[in-house]
Amino acid sequence: MMKTLCFTLGLLLLTACCCNAMPEALKFNTAPGNCCFKFFTQKIPVKRVFNITKTHSSCQNQAFIVHTIRGIPICFRETFQWARDIYSQQHYIVGSSQQL
C-alpha cells in the first residue's frame, strides 16, 4: 500500500512538473524565427537581391528581410518604398509564372 501511494504521488508530481513546463517549450517552438531590430535606410543594387521576405506577423517591427546573393540578410522597414517595390515585383513574377 505504501509503495502504491509513493508511486502515485511521484507520478502526480512528475505530471505537474511536465505540464507546467510545456507552455514554455511551446513558446520557443511557435516564436517567430526572424524579426528585425535594426534597419538599413539606403537602397541596394537590385542585382544583389537574391530573395525578399516579410517578417513574421508577431514581430514587434513589421519589415522586409532582403537576402543578398552572398547570403546576408538586410532588414528594411515595411514603409520603405524601395523594399515594397522589390517585394511586389518578386511576388508578381512568381505569381505570373505559376499561372502559365
Look at residue 79 and tell me whether its pLDDT is greater than 70.
yes
Which residues constitute the domain of residue 12? Answer: 1-31
Residues 60 and 95 in one domain: yes
Q: Which three cell numbers stand for residue 5?
A: 501511494
Measured CA to CA, the distance from residue 52 to residue 59 in angstroms comes to 16
Look at residue 60 and tell me whether its pLDDT is greater than 60.
yes
Q: Which three cell numbers stand for residue 77?
A: 522597414
Residues 49 and 21 in one domain: no
Q: Please name the helix (run of DSSP H) or strand (run of DSSP E) that holds residue 65, with its range, or none.
A: strand 63-68
Residues 26 and 41 in one domain: no
Give the bridge partners for 67, in sequence order.
51, 73
Number of domain units in the chain: 2
Give the largest CA-CA distance in the chain. 77
Render pLDDT for 15-42 as a digit per residue (tens, 0 to 9): 554 454 444 444 444 445 789 999 999 9
Residues 22 and 71 in one domain: no
